[in-house]
Amino acid sequence: MVLIDYGAGNLHSVEKALLAAGVPARRAADPEVARDADALVLPGQGHFGQVMRSFERSGFAPVVAAHIAADAPFLGICVGLQLLTRGSEEAPGVPGLGVLDAEVRRFPARGVSVPQMGWNQIRPLGTPALLAGIDSGAFVYFANSYFVTFPEAAVPSGAETVYGETRFLSAVSIGRLHATQFHPEKSQAVGLRVLRNFGDVVRGPRT
């Protein structure tokens, strides 16, 4: 398993959490090291445009796209989820990877503070392997002003969360692609279970 090092601010905490969950990952700043990895983990936090440009400069973008196209295990975290979409309202004109038929929108500031900072609940949609053994209503940690939205007819399995008037996808699972808007590395026991579940996805049979 390779943890992609393209300068993401939450890289070290994700690395420590993976180790604590019994899913150690090799940190790699060279795309060639990641090209044949059995699994990839893409962290991310910050402004969509800045993060996407840094990701493209790193040379990892085509490696990640090919990895996902091959249905190899992948985990995106926070902006690491948002980078997979077509683009974000946070950075108009900066395209995402476009591997998800989705867009990133800003929370409306009606009755809530933006960004969302702190604990909120998740409710599984379907039976995603990433959330196996996690109760509906479990609390996880968020730090986001933006959320991912899919066309209504194409909402994947994963999890949903309500913040103010907005019901949004807090986790996405499509095949062996998994991604969370919340931070499992900051979500204590629930977050460690999410990371262990991803380890099970990596070790399990291809479906």
List residues with catalytic annotation.
78, 183, 185
Closest CA to 91 of 64, 65, 117, 52: 52
> Which amino acid makes up residue 190?
V
Cα separation of 121 and 15, whole Å? 24
Q: Which residues of 70-83 are buried (b: 16+ CB within 10 A; e: fewer)?
A: eebbbbbbbbbbbb
User: Cβ distance 85 to 100 under 8 Å?
Assistant: yes
Instruction: Tally Cβ neighbours within 10 Å of residue 132.
Output: 14
Q: Please tell me what DSSP assigns to residue 24.
A: -
> Residue 136 class from Cβ within 10 Å (0-12 exposed, 13-18 middle, 19+ buried)?
exposed
User: Left if phi > 0, otherwise alpha if psi is -120 to 50, otherwise beta: which for 68?
Assistant: alpha
User: Cβ distance 179 to 171 under 8 Å?
Assistant: yes
CA 51 from centre of chain: 14
